Amino acid sequence: MKFKRMDISLWLHDSKKPGKAQVYCKISIKGERVDIGSTGITIWKDHWDASTRRVLDDDPMAHFKNEQLSAIESQLYAIYNDLFRRQAVITAGKIKRMFLRGGEGASLLSAFELFLLDVKSNPDRTAGTWETYDDVRIKLIDFLISEKSLDLPAEDFDEDWLKRYRRWMKTIPVGGKTGHADSYVRKHSQTIKQVLRFAKRKHLAAVNPLDGVRIPDVKYGSPLFLTDEEFERLKKHKFTNPHMQEVADVFIIYCRTGFHYADLKDFVTKHQTALRRGIDGKTWLIKDRVKTEVTARVPQFKEVASIVNKYGGWENLPIKSNKTMNQWLKLIAGELKFHPELSTKAGRKTFTDWCYNTLHLTTDAVKVLLGRSSDKGLEVYGRPDERRVIGELEQSAGYQKDIRKAS
């Protein structure tokens, strides 16, 4: 770490009382100057020695006042030396905050807690959003415990710390596997950047140490979805366990609406107004998504209507907690020989794959169905493949003409 010298200056600031002044302090580090403020010491102007920056003996309290000034200098140097010894980031503003507060500036976790309070008080933020951010906070606590740095200042969480956090996220045990997916790690990284922007804006930190730092793009793997054949097997299969059958029925709705768990729960609550007659004269499911408030517009496909009728209406659907759903889906996957990691998320991905590669819909149409304002990151849910190409080729007059010539 390159050495940065700190200079401390003591100077007089005119008092409201004629002939008197207060002793003020400022520090500078590598060209950055910051006023610490008043030392609380008032003297006659002619009792000040500008060369030694001390009170002259003409003042009967000179010894006491000079001891106070020396103590202030000692505290500032102690803070500087501690930061230097720990190879922490050193700025004049940081030393001022530490001096005035008797310690470090706001820790990253303190800033995060204030950020969460701000989110909770914002009427435009949902409870689901708060829970997502709080999940990041909990993971961050585990990481900082592993680094023995629970009190890490917000302004010290720089790019090197972020890289360490990302490596940790990719190597910790998660449900029998090693590490979180790239997309999950990226979302956490972006949330921490939000917290640090908040910390600077609220003057909890002098700088945003991740300002200008780019979070690596995600390399998405193949989405997990049910093929058309697997979906038909799920529809026709009769489970002996009634709870398993209920989960299978609700999962069919996921696969034909593309809803997230929170959106399905919300739709059930609002179905009387969210079920609408479309311009085609048919029933549509139209509602704002819980997370983004972007409107999803989905026709009520026959599989959905069948399940809803089976239970006597939307309000009677056996909606279980997301955790319970996923536990039962693992058992369903075992019984039907599906992918063992089957979860409610696979319902949205099954719907996306079906729209692209069975119905041959465009990306613009899929965005409307899923309630997305852009196609950025859409590939995590599904993507067109050769089935889509074949479907479009079969509708092409030129392709049909070439086939006839070839035969």
The residues, any chain, with a CB within 8 Å of residue 281's CB and separated by 6 or more, are: none
User: How far, in Å, CA of 180 to CA of 174, rounded?
Assistant: 7
* Per-residue pLDDT, 371: 93
> Facing residues of 23 across strands?
12
Domain 228-394: give its CATH code.
1.10.443.10
- Within its chain, how far is the Cα of 374 from the centroid? 19
How crowded is residue 263: how many other Cβ atoms within 10 Å of its Cβ? 22
Rg (CA), the chain: 32
User: How far, in Å, CA of 321 to CA of 231, rounded?
Assistant: 22
Longest CA span, the chain: 115
What type of residue is 286? I
Q: Contact 189/102 with Cβ under 8 angstroms?
A: no
* Per-residue pLDDT, 196: 95
DSSP states of 193-216 as a string? Answer: HHHHHHHHHTTSSSS-TTTTPPPP
**Which of helix, strand or coil describes residue 295?**
strand
Q: How many Cα atoms within 13 Å fall on the side-chain side of residue 202?
A: 19
Three-state SS string over 90-146 comes to: CCHHHHHHHHHHCCCCCEHHHHHHHHHHHHHHCCCCCHHHHHHHHHHHHHHHHHHHH
* Per-residue pLDDT, 115: 92
> Facing residues of 35 across strands?
26
Residue located via tokens 């089935």: 387
* Per-residue pLDDT, 397: 66
Q: Contact 39/47 with Cβ under 8 angstroms?
A: no
Residue 55 in tokens: 């009170």
* Per-residue pLDDT, 182: 86
* Per-residue pLDDT, 403: 57
How crowded is residue 308: how many other Cβ atoms within 10 Å of its Cβ? 20
Q: Contact 183/218 with Cβ under 8 angstroms?
A: yes
Residue 124 in tokens: 């435009």
- The H or E element that residue 1 is part of is none
Does this model's pTM top 0.75? My answer is: no
* Per-residue pLDDT, 2: 45
Strand runs labelled E in 295-405:
295-299
Query: What is the residue-level pLDDT of the chain in tens, covering all 407 positions?
Result: 344 689 999 999 998 889 999 999 999 998 889 999 999 999 999 999 999 999 999 999 999 999 999 989 988 888 888 778 777 778 888 888 778 765 555 789 888 988 998 898 888 777 878 888 999 999 999 999 999 988 888 888 999 999 999 999 999 988 778 888 888 899 999 999 999 999 888 877 778 999 999 998 877 778 899 999 999 999 999 999 999 999 999 999 999 999 999 999 999 999 999 999 999 999 999 999 987 889 999 999 999 999 999 999 999 999 999 999 999 999 999 999 999 989 999 999 999 999 999 999 999 999 999 999 888 878 888 888 888 888 888 877 665 566 555 55
User: How far, in Å, CA of 184 to CA of 122, rounded?
Assistant: 24
